[in-house]
Structure 1
């Protein structure tokens, strides 16, 4: 594991190793405000050796998310809650980025936060996503037809304010969530973005929202801005023909290469995150590392999605990746990096029942109750 345990400079921050912790929705905040249980969760993993932690998706504005207890960063209470977490992570000798998240069309108008926001569900175009299940709403409704965003620059401004708030909250940088079928991804994808203005149509126009948002984040954070993309995902009803996918993401990454980002994370195809509509899988399966790495010769590349310890060492040791982000194994092994360094087994079973918490159950279960190895 020698390659994984070497320092790496990302923007203005140096991380101690190449094993990052992916952004992971855990649904444990208190009415969108980070709490002491979340602090314990992040500190466990910072002490467990994570080189860089990327926070769970942080909502940049009030939205009707499927996850009632997802945290935000639009209020002072939220900023203060995150500041306690970032201070504690730093005391544990780790670094932490804030993942900035807007759901776009996969919100719901009847969700309490959407009602409190007083705005409709927005998307690049008035095209609904298929699927979805808002379990906390009567009848468990699915997605609705969004209202087309009239002026996307207003949303870009919300991202910029969230970046300002993240700096006040003590993060080391921000990551733009451009994956998973959420708003940035919706602008990139020709199935969810069918605009005829400068924000839609060609790959260049569909990439405009992502690029303008990144530039706004850079105005706040300089080089401490990352990007996460998932060109081979079908989750939340996205996915384009292969050539359109390569053209779109190729253009995006050629432009990103000139922005001086701290890293780009490439999410590989995940079968469990794919969905089937009309008898066929939604995702466009292809090798994202081989396809898109050539566009990024100066920008550090991180690889994620079911990366094993041995594969992580091979990816970094061969130079194919500057580092890796690991997700589910960090959930069930709070000391994951320490285990990998010392050769300890990854033998904690993942508690899927407690992944997002259970209604009326103990939120600590399946969250901060996984045991560390004996050293």
Structure 2
């Protein structure tokens, strides 16, 4: 029985073919080995969830940098590349595809997790609030050091894309959402530069656009092997410009990205927070995207996803991919369950980021 036929239709992404339109979101799970090295347990975890048409890997650090995620994987050392090869091979053996999500957390890192190395941002403006669950005393965010030459970080992303290709990934996604470094360059309150990288809509967009261009170049000019995640409404890590500022910023950015003919633009509504704006992301920005596929990610159900994919969701043109996050944690066969109407299992939040004595618990034992 196929309850949601549109979700089951394969999707062409350049030369790639997704076997269905159920996409697994990036989910930090903190199971990497010391040194941020992906391991056999991670390979099993991703293979179990290769029922997805496309897997977006958990965020992979593009340089040695900390955060609250001490066992998150990296993609900047030979050992990490070798570890990811186990993961990509496992996914491919199960007839699925996997993109590497490239991650730098910028100003929301903490020096205590970096051997005293300061966190960085587009400007020396700290995020408000913050919580580092693995640090005693619960310190909040601290003021970052302004990046002197953003081109250095563009080059870091290029190297990460090269490493992802070597590791056997099918493509890469730039994490430019959720208050991480590229997002910090986009917003006027976190980017107060007056040089070529800030001070106007066009200049604040430059960092993201330059990164996407080098990612495409690293993949031999195959723009369809590159995607990006955006959260224009903010709502996490003290992000969110006003409605008017965000609308202008993301209208320009998305139109410029779409000219690059990249594989997809993943839009996320984000989370409520004091700084979040009131933009309804899909309604605002879906009409601007003419060339790239549109993926949507935020609290989807099978019913909502099917409506969005068929263009029957009120006020929104059809999208091409439905991104599911937490349901994939406890339901490795999520596409099948959606189609048959099977009951979805709940996941245990306590095991999301803090593995117990047996790291497989709440990870590969569902």
Please tell me whether residue 30 in structure 1 is matched to residue 33 in structure 2: yes
Pairwise CA distance, 1:119:
4.7
* 1:296 equivalent in alignment to 2:300: no
TM norm structure 2: 0.94
Asked if the contact 1:357/1:366 (under 8 Å) is kept, the reply is: no
Tell me the alpha carbon deviations over residues 242-268 of structure 1, each in whole angstroms, 9 at most, x when there is no partner.
000000000001101110110000002
Q: Does 1:147 align with 2:154?
A: no
> Aligned to 1:252, what secondary structure does the other structure show?
helix
Q: CA deviation at 1:344?
A: 1.6
Aligned to 1:83: 85
Q: Which of 212, 215, 221 is residue 214 of structure 1 equivalent to? A: 212
State how 1:1-375 maps to structure 2 within 5 Å. 1-31=4-34, 32-46=36-50, 49-111=51-113, 114-115=114-115, 119-221=117-219, 222-223=222-223, 224-270=225-271, 274-275=272-273, 281-318=274-311, 320-346=318-344, 348-358=345-355, 360-370=356-366
Query: Which range moved further: 207-216 or 335-344?
Result: 335-344
8 Å CA contact retained: 1:50, 1:94: yes
Q: Is the 8 A contact 2:242 2:277 kept in 1?
A: yes
2:314 corresponds to: none
**Contact map agreement 2:178 2:270 (CA 8 A) in 1:** no
| Contact 1:11/1:261 (8 A) holds in 2 | no
Residue 278 of structure 1 aligns with which residue?
none
Match of 1:373 in 2: none
Instruction: Report SS of the residue matched to 1:166.
Output: helix
1: distance between equivalents of 2:29 and 2:270? Answer: 21
Tell me how far apart the structure 2 counterparts of residues 76 and 218 of structure 1 sit (CA, whole Å).
22
Question: What's the CA shift for 1:39?
Answer: 1.0
Q: What is the CA-CA distance between 1:282 and the residue it aligns to?
A: 1.9
Greater displacement, 119-128 / 80-89: 119-128
In structure 2, C-alpha distance between the alignment counterparts of 1:137 and 1:289, rounded to whole Å:
37
* Conserved 8 A contact 1:122-1:146: yes
Aligned counterparts of 1:175 and 1:105: Cα–Cα separation in 2 = 20
Which 10-residue stretch deviates more, 119-128 or 300-309? 119-128
Structure 2 residue runs without a partner (length 5+): 312-316
The CA deviation at 1:364 is: 1.4
The count of aligned residue pairs is 354
Does the 8 Å CA contact 2:74/2:80 hold for their aligned counterparts? Answer: yes
Partner Cα separation in structure 1 for residue 237 and residue 14 of structure 2: 31
Is contact 1:64-1:108 (8 Å) kept? yes
Let me know the Cα RMSD of the aligned residues. Answer: 1.2
CA shift at 1:110, angstroms?
Answer: 1.7
SS at structure 2 position matched to 1:156: helix
Following the alignment from structure 1 to structure 2, what is the Cα–Cα distance between the partners of residues 218 and 316? Answer: 27
CA deviation profile, 1:138-159 (whole Å, cap 9, x unmatched)? 3232211111001000000000
Tell me, yes or no, if the aligned pair for 1:357 and 1:365 is still in contact at 8 Å.
no
TM-score scaled to structure 1, two decimals?
0.92
Equivalent pair of 2:10/2:18 in contact (CA under 8 Å): yes
Partner SS state of residue 306, structure 1: coil
Deviation at 1:64, TM superposition (A): 1.7
Instruction: Give 1:288 deviation, angstroms.
Output: 0.6
Cα shift at 1:341: 2.3
Separation (CA, whole Å) in 2 of partners of 1:157 and 1:132: 28
